[in-house]
Structure 1
Amino acid sequence: MINPIPMGNRTNIMKTTGNLTRGNGLSRRTLLAGGAALTGLAATGIGLRPARAQQRGGTIKVAKGHGQTNDSLDPGTFINGFTVALSYGMHGFLTGVATDGSLEPSLAESWEASPDAKSWRFKIRNGVVFHSGKPLTLEDIVVSINHHRGDDTTSAAAPLVAGITEIRTEGDDTVVFDLESGNADFPFVFTDYHLAILPAKDGKVDWQAEDGCGPYKLVEFDPGVVARFERHTDDWNDQRGFFEAVEMLSVVDLNARTTALVSGQVHSIDKLDLKTVGLLGRRPGIKINSLAGPQYYTFAAHTNTAPFNDVNVRQALKHAINREDIVEKILFGHGTVGNDNPIGPSYRFHNPDLPQIPFDPDKAKFHLKEAGLDGLSVTLSAADAAFPGAVDTAVLYQDSAKAAGLNIEVNRVPNDGYWADVWLKHPFCAVYWGGRPTEDQIFSTAYAEGAAWNETKWSNARFNELLVAARAELDEEKRRAMYFEMQELVTMDGGTVLPMFANYVFANSDKIVHGEMASNYDVDGERWMERWSFA
């Protein structure tokens, strides 16, 4: 998933006009251009996907290696690649991530911030209608974001919007968000797949209506089996949604997915078998895509549960894993070694100077001794639903850990229900993350104290202090230093064993046409429904 313009190295093409900064192709870097000297930060007419020679028509069939029977249409519960693709296909969002990783307008056609980035005004596009024919209103936007706020919310996106103190409307086309503290990356928040804009009913989001204002209308949803869509003919953007219909199948079994593609039953699959991806790519009519981005695979240990509540045990686990061996045998060149924190090279504030934790059985033994242990036995739960090759990775971890006096018992669990029954519940388990567009989003979602998806139950006072401070800091170098320290804290103190960053590897029929593909999530940012077409 390699971007021609890397996520952390984009050219600043903003222009300053009067007391406002406006631009085309607003990236995280340009959002901060000029810092507090600006009286406002704004975006207008940014990066709508350009017209391409694409034909309309046909039904695309895609097999996803995700999905479970307890999936829900409540956007706060979206949890896997199946529901992410569903969300981006049927729903509208205030902003979006373009194929080059920059920020683009969507339902919000422009936005502007106060000098301290504590108040943001979003001008909402006119003429948008839901699939039911209902016009988009400002109330829809307010209740959609409020769905993820408050003490009663169960949404995984709650940490992303926790800093909002008030949402208000101005006139008939503007929504204002007041924040507890400044957030220089705030417009990126609304690209998150949970923060879909749904119709309001009695002051709340009506997700049971199965209505949306995205490029495709949902016509059937059988959780863990299939979702079917038809093109939204009244979509506001005529440069997307080229298929007449979409059939998305949940096919967690790898062999079944691959067979479906080879036999022509489906046009695209994700989560390929990397051991045989070269052979698959040699088959006529099949194209392999391998794109580097923020995706990473982890083994998450609950830091509030013995023995993982001892930092020395956590350090022993990190020194007992042979990362290079795993990258070679599991990723087959489609990824790189990780260093136990999620901020890889694709991020703007990646810390390249953070020392790599090596495979060092003697150092692992040292940390066990510091914990008062001569040896240690732990259970590691894994299923290939977590990531392709997760069970094999766990076995490799088991083998390397033996030299350190660590006995890792691999508990192979069922694929179905993994995210509901194992993740966040078993104290040591395999996990995959698609990453997020900004450092603040991934840290807030997966590492902040109290976050619903803080999979290691980790709490570090200094980290949480820096998380709030970095979000509001407009000085580029000060912000960089904060994120560097946060990465070190996660690596040295956190409960995440992160051995590798994995490329997004997926395949499609050569009947499919697409342009430059995004690398912020799997399969063209999971916006393949709106971006692809048939030749």
Structure 2
Amino acid sequence: MTVPSPDPSRRRFLGATAGLGVLLGSGLLTACGGPDTGSAAGGAASGKPRRGGRIRLGIIDVNQNGDLDAHKPIGNGSIIRGFALYAKPWEWNAQMQPALTLAESAEISPDARTWTVRLKQGLEFHNGKTVTADDFVFSARRLTDPELASPYAGLLSYVDRDRIQKLDDRTVRFHFRNGMAFVPFPENFTNFGGIVPVDYDPRKPVGAGPYKLKEFTPGQRSLFTRFENYFRPGQPYADELEIIDFKDEQSRIAALQSGQIDLANGIAADQIRLLGSSDAVHTVVSRTNGWQGFELNLSKPPFDDEKVRTAFRLLVDRQDLVDRALSGQGRIANDLYSPQDPTFDTSLPQRPYDVARAKKLLREAGAKDLTVELVTGPDPTSESAALVFATQARKAGVTINVKKVDSATFDGPQRTDFTLSTGELLTESFLVTGLHLDAPGSNNNKTHFSDPRFTKLFNQALGEPDVAKRTPLVHEMQQIQYDKGGLIIWGFVNNVDAVAKRIGGVTAEHTQFPLWRFEKLWVAG
């Protein structure tokens, strides 16, 4: 079955999950939390959360056409605003696991061909209407409506939208197309925008999130007020949440330092030292499994030659890239994604940095003095990594010409035609990440990786809820990717957030979401 990927520009916003297979072993997914992890500089507001005040978040978003649609967000700002307005059956917890929120239970059938989800009792939308199974069904069908053309639609494309069953006022059963078995259903539902009422109008949005909309000016700012009947008792704490759009990092950091905003999410690592001298701001560093890398197009010369592919992997000085492109805020990777997945094969040897062997392989492939173009988008980390790699490759006589293009070009239809390009993803479990990248059916397979044995194993693993039985399948797939794949994943990236010391409730996680958990944040004074 073909499972389309979502809009490629969403790569940088997708989350990760760990341990889903463990939760599925009993067939029942129950509410889970887990301790917050990571590291943070001192100086955060302490004590008991207090109610009141306004929290001001500064985001980078150059899109003047941003919207508030739960299922068709335009740009980064629209996705972040969705965290204030909407609530989902599951959300990513601090450990990047799908934890139940609006749902009280979710049960997978023994054959993995259906999921039955039951909503909590007494849930309310912002307009006072009770959240019911009808709303859940409507939201899933709207999300997958071809006429809407949601960037999230690919996440649920395997759902048979004509067989979504309402079992009672709070319970919904999902079937999959063509009798397909599909284990990672909760992860994909965690990524979409939320449950909305059956009379939903995105121009006057109503959700069940922690804040209600008060004002919205696309490309400039949005203002939200506390939803008093939010499903988490006592939250959110602040009276108001303001999200302010900035066009560049320099102006946003200046606004943070001058006290015009309280929060800045996902700042560049090189800003940590600058903010370290501030008496009013501290940084929160979260260790994530989001990766940075290079994607080799295996359908084009020179990367249709396995020796050239191997040589390029050996030319990557991974620690140097972490030190220079990430300013040390990360750790080296081994060309494989989803290290947090319980099925991940930790026994594969770390790829060495070996210029001499790389030069030998290039000579054998007739690719001595090779020149290749490396395409990168506007992401500054990816651009920096591309330039660092170009200097590394010169040691083997390889010339890499870095070409920077805009987002429309980098994420457009031609993205799968690049011979060599930068890549990044905020990693999910192995199976879902594969659906975004290089598994059978992905329409975002920039590497054009295709292997018959891998395809057979992947389809088998999708229907295997038992993590112990799924593990050997994934191990064999990862060995194939390690030997024959087109991904050079050189590092995993830390997420760095900047927080005014008057704001409490921000804790380091294994996610990029600490500042987006708006219900937890509070103003100290």
TM bracket, shorter-chain basis = 0.7 to 0.9
Report the Cα distance in structure 2 between the residues aligned to 1:213 and 1:504, rounded to whole angstroms.
Answer: 27
Counterpart residue number, 1:362 = 356
- In the alignment, is residue 533 of structure 1 matched against residue 518 of structure 2? no
Equivalent runs, 1:175-214 vs 2, <5 Å: 175-179=172-176, 180-192=179-191, 194-201=192-199, 206-214=201-209
C-alpha distance after superposition, 1:41-76 (max 9, x if no partner): 253x655999x9322222211222455345554555
Task: Say if 1:90 and 1:63 are closer, same or farther in 2 by CA, change over 3 A.
Answer: same
Counterpart residue number, 1:374 = 368
The one-letter amino acid of 2:314's match is: H
Task: Say if 1:7 and 1:103 are closer, same or farther in 2 by CA, change over 3 A.
Answer: closer
Q: CA deviation at 1:398?
A: 0.6
Report the Cα distance in structure 1 between the residues aligned to 2:23 and 2:303, rounded to whole angstroms.
Answer: 39
- 2:418 touches 2:446 (CA, 8 Å); kept in 1? no
Q: CA deviation at 1:219?
A: 4.0
- 2:329 touches 2:493 (CA, 8 Å); kept in 1? yes
Q: CA deviation at 1:410?
A: 1.4
- In the alignment, is residue 396 of structure 1 matched against residue 391 of structure 2? no
Q: CA deviation at 1:127?
A: 3.2
Task: Say if 1:326 and 1:48 are closer, same or farther in 2 by CA, change over 3 A.
Answer: closer
SS where residue 431 of structure 2 aligns? helix
Report the Cα distance in structure 1 between the residues aligned to 2:474 and 2:373, rounded to whole angstroms.
Answer: 32
Q: CA deviation at 1:190?
A: 2.0
Task: Say if 1:231 and 1:147 are closer, same or farther in 2 by CA, change over 3 A.
Answer: same
Counterpart residue number, 1:28 = 20
Task: Say if 1:407 and 1:460 are closer, same or farther in 2 by CA, change over 3 A.
Answer: same
What is the count of residue pairs matched by the alignment?
495
Counterpart residue number, 2:7 = none
Report the Cα distance in structure 2 between the residues aligned to 1:398 and 1:224, rounded to whole angstroms.
Answer: 36
Q: CA deviation at 1:399?
A: 0.5
Counterpart residue number, 2:504 = 513
Counterpart residue number, 1:482 = 473
- 1:69 touches 1:416 (CA, 8 Å); kept in 2? no
Q: CA RMSD in A?
A: 3.3
The one-letter amino acid of 1:530's match is: E
Task: Say if 1:151 and 1:268 are closer, same or farther in 2 by CA, change over 3 A.
Answer: closer
Report the Cα distance in structure 2 between the residues aligned to 1:91 and 1:348, rounded to whole angstroms.
Answer: 30
- 1:145 touches 1:195 (CA, 8 Å); kept in 2? no
Task: Say if 1:241 and 1:474 are closer, same or farther in 2 by CA, change over 3 A.
Answer: same
Report the Cα distance in structure 1 between the residues aligned to 2:351 and 2:196, rounded to whole angstroms.
Answer: 45
Counterpart residue number, 1:343 = 338
Q: CA deviation at 1:466?
A: 2.2
Report the Cα distance in structure 2 between the residues aligned to 1:199 and 1:310, rounded to whole angstroms.
Answer: 53
C-alpha distance after superposition, 1:346-391 (max 9, x if no partner): 33222221122222233333444455433332222335x42x4332
Report the Cα distance in structure 2 between the residues aligned to 1:406 and 1:255, rounded to whole angstroms.
Answer: 35
Counterpart residue number, 1:3 = none
The one-letter amino acid of 2:196's match is: L
C-alpha distance after superposition, 1:116-160 (max 9, x if no partner): 333221112333333344443323222322344477774444443
**Higher relative contact order, chain-length normalized (CA < 8 Å, sep 6+):** 2
C-alpha distance after superposition, 1:435-486 (max 9, x if no partner): 22x2222222233333344443433333332222222223433311222222
Q: 1:495 aligns with which of 486, 492, 495?
A: 486
Q: 1:84 aligns with which of 79, 89, 104?
A: 79
Q: 1:171 aligns with which of 164, 168, 172?
A: 168
Q: 2:229 aligns with which of 223, 226, 234?
A: 234
SS where residue 374 of structure 2 aligns? strand
Q: CA deviation at 1:174?
A: 0.7
Report the Cα distance in structure 2 between the residues aligned to 1:352 and 1:371, rounded to whole angstroms.
Answer: 31
Report the Cα distance in structure 1 between the residues aligned to 2:315 and 2:477, rounded to whole angstroms.
Answer: 23
**TM-score with structure 1 setting the length:** 0.81
Counterpart residue number, 2:42 = none
Counterpart residue number, 2:431 = 440
SS where residue 131 of structure 1 aligns? coil
Report the Cα distance in structure 2 between the residues aligned to 1:48 and 1:482, rounded to whole angstroms.
Answer: 28
C-alpha distance after superposition, 1:54-111 (max 9, x if no partner): 2222221122245534555455555865343222221111112223444432221222
- In the alignment, is residue 320 of structure 1 matched against residue 315 of structure 2? yes
- 1:423 touches 1:431 (CA, 8 Å); kept in 2? no
Identity value in percent: 27
**TM-score with structure 2 setting the length:** 0.83
